Structure 1
Amino acid sequence: MKKLASFITATMLSLPATAGMIVSQTDFSDTSAWQLNGDATQNNDRLVLTQGLSQSGSAFLSSSINLLNDTSFSAFFTFEISQPVGLTDVDGIQGADGLVFVVQTNDTNVGSQGLGIGYQGIANSLGIEFDTWTNTTLNDIDGNHVGINLGGNSQSVAQASESDAFNTGGIWSAWIDYNGINDLLEVRWSNTGTRSSDAGLSLNVDLASELGSSDAFFGFTSGTAAGGGLHEIVSFEFRNDFAPISAATAIDAPPAIALMLAGLIGIGYRRKVK
């Protein structure tokens, strides 16, 4: 696997910045391409962000991606939040605060516990939170919603409620698409694996300005406090252009991460300097 990874990296570095890239990981039996921070760990074929009380964990691809194609991208991932313990929210469900899909500029970042969901304090970032706790101080609409967060601020700038609980077990799918031409961010989610035609949440945002850099790391965070639970990422796929992904067409790649040249237009791939 190390020889394959070295070959792929060398090939990518020899290509012009216009070469396209797909990152596809059908499970996390191999996390060699990821930087795990805080309480994040690997368990069998899943990426575990947090699994107890008073924890904060993050995991980011250890290679930054140079966003040259209008900062556009499409991502698809599956996750499971289960084994809730500790405090009970106003909706009657035990558990912690959820997890966040994050685009930011430092792969070793991990934010604060609890209501910070491992995201709070990560500057120059975009976060899509799957929030499972009602924090009135953050103006949460309820204890089970999706939110868009900016600049490491846990108070969302846009929110949408979800009727089915995220944190009672079962696989959820999420699609994050950003069109840098019109600065439109769209978020979709489902517990059936089916991508809806309409976005569940959207926002016009200038991602390039939010990041303050053309290099970005993609990954996830989570945080717990007096309420906890098991927060796991099951699979992940990323494309370096606005190229929305459906679960039905997600690449059937080997368990280890696959970096593929797809002829897409726009960004390069840059190894982190150790």
Structure 2
Amino acid sequence: MFRISALALAMSLAAPVASATTILFNDFSSVAGLQLNNAAAAATDGSSRSVLRVTPSQFNQAGSAFSTTAVTLGANVSFSTKFAFNFNGQRAGGADGLVFVVQTVSNTAGGIGGGIGYLGLPNSVGIEFDNWNNGGGDGNSDNHVGIDINGSVSSVALNTALPVTLDSGTDLFAWIDYDGNTDQLEVRLSGTNSRPAASLLAYNVDLAAVLGTPNAFVGFTSGTGAAAANHDVISWEFRDTFAPVDLPEPMSLTLLGVALASMGLARRHRA
């Protein structure tokens, strides 16, 4: 009888643990639920995939795509998100990148070029994936990730030693998590669909104070200037709570180990 109970426990703990998912795009064959601004549009990439093209490979563009309705963020405006993206069709070296943004206005886009479609958006946090060197504010790097606050592209945290090349023309994967209970914002980046154990950037910020409301629009901005690229989002998942995507549930795995060990102990006792 004990063996059956332990096995049932193990099977139940091995099942996926439900978490709140408010936005999920496996592709962008439909952009229902998104407000597309300026240059942003649904498009087909070179692999015939339906993508969200936040800016096309044209000069002096700005675009954005945000949820059409505000998301109510839970537990001190916590959230977790994952998305795949691809910079391709580079012109004049490729620029200027993509920004994941949490902000309080849906139908707006910021500055072109080095503004990456984010410059000038107040009450916001943005995580920029920047493929152009605009000088000291970019760490003199054309391949960096930064955390931006309140529409400024002078990043409060910056990493120029990336594990990938943003302009590679291949799919890249990003994970961003904010725990409102600790005020910790973490960014991860990989060239494979496997969540890195270590964060690329970590920064402490009171996002509730920055936004001024738990109700926010979430999405992406991009910009081009005298250089350009297609800045494509391939897929996107957003959760309105701190529930990191692709992270195993530690408690479930621990209890699963206990259950399996108990099953082994029961077998030895019967031997």
The alignment's TM-score, normalised by the length of structure 1, stands at 0.78
Q: Deviations over 1:122-160 (max 9, x none)?
A: 000000000111111524341101100000001100011
CA distance in 1, matches of 2:165, 2:248: 24
Q: CA deviation at 1:163?
A: 4.9
Do the aligned partners of residues 190 and 221 (structure 1) sit closer, same or farther apart at CA in structure 2, a change above 3 Å counting? same
CA distance in 2, matches of 1:247, 1:231: 27
Please tell me whether the aligned partners of residues 83 and 168 of structure 1 are also in contact (alpha carbons under 8 angstroms): no
- 2:94 corresponds to which letter in structure 1? G
- 2:97 corresponds to which letter in structure 1? G
- Residue of structure 2 in register with 1:175 after alignment: 175
- Equivalenced residue count is 224
Aligned pair partner of 1:46 in 42, 51, 70: 51
CA distance in 2, matches of 1:131, 1:85: 15
In the alignment, structure 1 residue 199 sits paired with structure 2 residue 199: yes
- Residue of structure 2 in register with 1:64 after alignment: 70
| Superposed CA RMSD | 1.8
Please tell me whether the aligned partners of residues 76 and 214 of structure 2 are also in contact (alpha carbons under 8 angstroms): no
Please tell me whether the aligned partners of residues 61 and 224 of structure 2 are also in contact (alpha carbons under 8 angstroms): yes
In the alignment, structure 1 residue 101 sits paired with structure 2 residue 100: yes
Q: Deviations over 1:7-58 (max 9, x none)?
A: xxxxxxxxxxxx9443211000000110000100111411001111110000
CA radius of gyration, larger in: 2
CA distance in 1, matches of 2:68, 2:194: 30
CA distance in 2, matches of 1:127, 1:74: 14
- Residue of structure 2 in register with 1:253 after alignment: none
Structure with the largest fraction of helix: 2
- Residue of structure 2 in register with 1:229 after alignment: 229
- 1:70 corresponds to which letter in structure 2? N
CA distance in 1, matches of 2:248, 2:228: 32
**Higher relative contact order (Cα pairs below 8 Å, separated by 6+ residues):** 1
Q: Deviations over 1:191-222 (max 9, x none)?
A: 11111111110100000111112210000000
- Residue of structure 1 in register with 2:116 after alignment: 117
Give the match's secondary structure for 1:210.
helix
Please tell me whether the aligned partners of residues 84 and 168 of structure 1 are also in contact (alpha carbons under 8 angstroms): no
Give the match's secondary structure for 2:165.
coil
Please tell me whether the aligned partners of residues 144 and 163 of structure 1 are also in contact (alpha carbons under 8 angstroms): no
In the alignment, structure 1 residue 140 sits paired with structure 2 residue 139: yes
Counterparts of 1:66-81 in structure 2, within 5 Å, are: 66-81=72-87
Do the aligned partners of residues 131 and 247 (structure 1) sit closer, same or farther apart at CA in structure 2, a change above 3 Å counting? farther
* Ranges in structure 1 where 5+ consecutive residues have no aligned partner: 1-18, 87-93, 250-274
Give the match's secondary structure for 1:246.
coil
- 2:135 corresponds to which letter in structure 1? T
- 1:151 corresponds to which letter in structure 2? N
Do the aligned partners of residues 141 and 184 (structure 1) sit closer, same or farther apart at CA in structure 2, a change above 3 Å counting? farther
- Residue of structure 2 in register with 1:268 after alignment: none
- Residue of structure 1 in register with 2:23 after alignment: 23
CA distance in 1, matches of 2:147, 2:195: 19
Do the aligned partners of residues 142 and 166 (structure 1) sit closer, same or farther apart at CA in structure 2, a change above 3 Å counting? same
CA distance in 2, matches of 1:247, 1:100: 23
- 1:218 corresponds to which letter in structure 2? V
CA distance in 2, matches of 1:98, 1:165: 12
User: Structure 1 vs Structure 2: percent identity of aligned residues?
Assistant: 43
- Residue of structure 2 in register with 1:257 after alignment: none
- 1:213 corresponds to which letter in structure 2? T
Please tell me whether the aligned partners of residues 194 and 247 of structure 1 are also in contact (alpha carbons under 8 angstroms): no
Please tell me whether the aligned partners of residues 141 and 159 of structure 1 are also in contact (alpha carbons under 8 angstroms): no
Do the aligned partners of residues 73 and 39 (structure 1) sit closer, same or farther apart at CA in structure 2, a change above 3 Å counting? same
- Residue of structure 1 in register with 2:264 after alignment: none
CA distance in 2, matches of 1:68, 1:201: 22
